[in-house]
Structure 1
Amino acid sequence: MALPLSRRALCRLKNGFRGLGTEAQQGVKDAAPRVFSGIQPTGIPHLGNYLGALQTWVQLQDTFSSILYSIVDLHSITVPQDPAVLRHSMLDMTACLLACGIDPEKSCIFQQSQVPEHTELGWILSCLTSMSRLKQLPQWKMKSQQNEGSVGLFTYPVLQAADILLYRSTHVPVGDDQVQHLELTQDTARKFNKRYGDFFPVPVALMGTSKKIRSLRDPSSKMSKSDPQTLATIRLTDTPEEIVTKIRKAVTDFTSEVTYDPESRPGVSNLISIHSAMTELGVEDIVRQSQGLETAQYKLLVADAVVEKLRPIREEIQRLQGDPDFLKKVLDSGAQTARQLASPVYDAVCKMVGFR
């Protein structure tokens, strides 16, 4: 999950690569700036996804002329999926991306599995990747403890590298939890270039500045679509009544005063972070304006801010969900564009490897 970029970072982007390093152009001097990122079609995005990845994605449309956002259904089946639900979730995710401000005229939105070169390049890159390297990744250690740990779950970071390199991407918006996976992509690009000749740009991370949004029921954990506690997560399609209920029942503490102290008061601090993101008010301004309010009263202010911010997004999602043919056209058009970009890259790789 990527985080919203600071104004300074956006200014640096508008002025080119300055301030972001030159590693993206290593070995491939003519590589055009290109952004790639992906999101799984597993449930409606939540508030943390919106404030992290999706807002950043929208911002980047005003900075880069070549952007690909993939709905990564191949990654989603590393855990069991109901086929009918997955098909429906593809359209739901497309609706959410559009409603949040992703413009198909500016960004290529496509379904990962509709571009076969992703898996074909993934196999080639897997032959450059050691098992010991994959075992170092924290996601494997965490997720393999939760289930049997399939081969797909073990190797999906290689497919993730293929997703990025297939389009010779130069920039990837990431959150803290994906940095090591991007480092694997960077290492893989270097290995390929060293063995077969300079070809892949080494992509750089676009890191953001926003605080992580925590679970409303357990502020020691980040907000998650898979949280079994229904009150823990605010989804973009939640009704105003549901949002008010979830925030009103958010875990805080026994101190009624509104103060920002993430270490000692993570619950209240999480609400302040949400309030700040919804209103663009600074944390200090919010705390000052909330003097004299008890936590219960403050929760209602936060709920109102969230409801008003998400209302137009929710309404647009509902409108788009009522037009599945349009959503399918967006994905079909995006897949066609993605295939046009991917095909010559994969052909070149096949020649370099010796397949053609």
Structure 2
Amino acid sequence: MTAFEPRVFSGVQPTGNLHLGNYLGAITRFVSLQDEYPCVYCVVDMHAITVWQEPIELTNAIRSVAAAFIAAGIDPKKNIIFNQSQVHEHAELAWIFNCVARMGWLNRMTQFKEKAGKDRENASVGLFAYPNLMAADILAYRATHVPVGEDQKQHLELTRNIAQKFNYDFADRIAELGYGEEFFPITEPVIQGPATRVMSLRDGSKKMSKSDPSDYSRINLTDDRDQIAQKIRKAKTDPEPLPEEVKGLESRPEADNLVGIYAALANSTREAVLSDFRGAPFAKFKPALADLAVEVLAPVNAEMRRLLADPGQLDEILADGADRAAEIAAPVIDGAKDIVGFVSSRRGRTNGRSAA
């Protein structure tokens, strides 16, 4: 097996308001990993346009995600923060992977079925093929670890399949060019913590979503203190008090969701939360949860507002991140081109970027 240097890659789509589910399920993971690995964090704007986006809203959303990364504690000097479309290597590698991945693999992707709905014939080609672009996002940096939610595990498995097939199909060429046994790593998922899947505040059986028509179904990172508290007060629950043990939450999705949110915000566990609140009615638990949510999220909200007030600064951070990302990705894509047999010239490249 070829040894690859550890590296984390992950991304967030700039579509709609970021919410508590994005924060707990992804962004806080990013923050915790930056002390363990070199990290590349991407605003995946090319993924966003697989469905229609208003251009001005997309521009603002890209900056908003970058601001959320930084406000949550990701250091843009220590890590790389950039938006995907500024690094053309993603698209180039995605095309190679379009020719490696099989139609049958993509046909099994459940998220395409969910997003396309009944009118699959009217869905964009990009929506169908975007798991290949996701694989390119990851493997352009030869990332060894990706923090993912439960709903993204299938896409990461596809990434692993693409890497394995590429390594197998071109094994002789990879060895001939001196890359060893494998050119791409078999990336591992990183799934951790008590709230990897945050559910709607209105329906505990559905994931918290930007697209839900009810704003009361989610807590947006742009919500102020009063909005956060009000949404938690109005969150759907059942009439029973909190149970003494976690197994008592199994048939109570709304209660389980709120306990999980409290545990994640407190950096604790469901067991510890129930130890403090066992037998308590929601009339007691919800105010405590609201206070905790405001305590954790209000500083993030304030820092996001400060950063978004200076879009030029955010654009500079994204541009710097794109240059640093390309320095890593360019030689990987050049290697992939050599392996598949392309004739390519490296003349005119500066710091991994094509010269203008």
Do the two structures share a fold, i.e. TM-score over 0.5?
A: yes
Give the unaligned 5+ runs of structure 1: 1-25
SS at match of 1:187: helix
Mapped partners of 2:271, 2:134: distance in 1: 39
Paired position in structure 1 for 2:178: none
Check if 1:346 corresponds to 2:318: no
Paired position in structure 1 for 2:267: 280
Q: Deviations over 1:189-222 (max 9, x none)?
A: 1111122223111211112132322110011111
Q: Deviations over 1:60-86 (max 9, x none)?
A: 11001x211110000001111000100
Mapped partners of 1:190, 1:323: distance in 2: 44
Paired position in structure 2 for 1:206: 190
RMSD: 1.6
| Count of residues in Structure 1 that have an aligned counterpart in Structure 2 | 327
Do 1:52 and 1:210's aligned partners in 2 also have CA atoms closer than 8 Å?
no
Give the unaligned 5+ runs of structure 2: 175-181, 344-356
Check if 1:47 corresponds to 2:31: no
Check if 1:100 corresponds to 2:72: yes
Do 1:157 and 1:181's aligned partners in 2 also have CA atoms closer than 8 Å?
yes
SS at match of 2:249: coil
Q: Deviations over 1:41-74 (max 9, x none)?
A: 112321111111111101111001x211110000
TM-score by length of 1: 0.88
Q: Do the aligned partners of residues 200 and 284 (structure 1) sit closer, same or farther apart at CA in structure 2, a change above 3 Å counting?
A: closer
After TM superposition, give the deviation of residue 283 of structure 1 in Å.
Answer: 2.9
Q: Deviations over 1:240-270 (max 9, x none)?
A: 1111111111111122x22253332221222
Mapped partners of 1:335, 1:284: distance in 2: 42
SS at match of 1:308: helix
Q: Do the aligned partners of residues 281 and 62 (structure 1) sit closer, same or farther apart at CA in structure 2, a change above 3 Å counting?
A: closer
Do 1:172 and 1:203's aligned partners in 2 also have CA atoms closer than 8 Å?
yes
User: Which residue of 116, 123, 129 maps to 2:95?
Assistant: 123
Q: Deviations over 1:86-134 (max 9, x none)?
A: 0111111111110001111121001101111111111111111111111
Which range is displaced more, 140-149 or 243-252? 140-149
Aligned pairs (5 A) from 1:242-281:
242-255=227-240, 257-259=241-243, 261-281=248-268
Paired position in structure 2 for 1:23: none
SS at match of 2:10: strand
Paired position in structure 2 for 1:18: none
Mapped partners of 1:353, 1:292: distance in 2: 63
Mapped partners of 1:289, 1:298: distance in 2: 10
Mapped partners of 2:223, 2:250: distance in 1: 29
Do 1:262 and 1:270's aligned partners in 2 also have CA atoms closer than 8 Å?
no
TM-score by length of 2: 0.88
Paired position in structure 2 for 1:149: 123
Aligned pairs (5 A) from 1:165-244:
165-196=139-170, 197=174, 198-211=182-195, 212-244=197-229
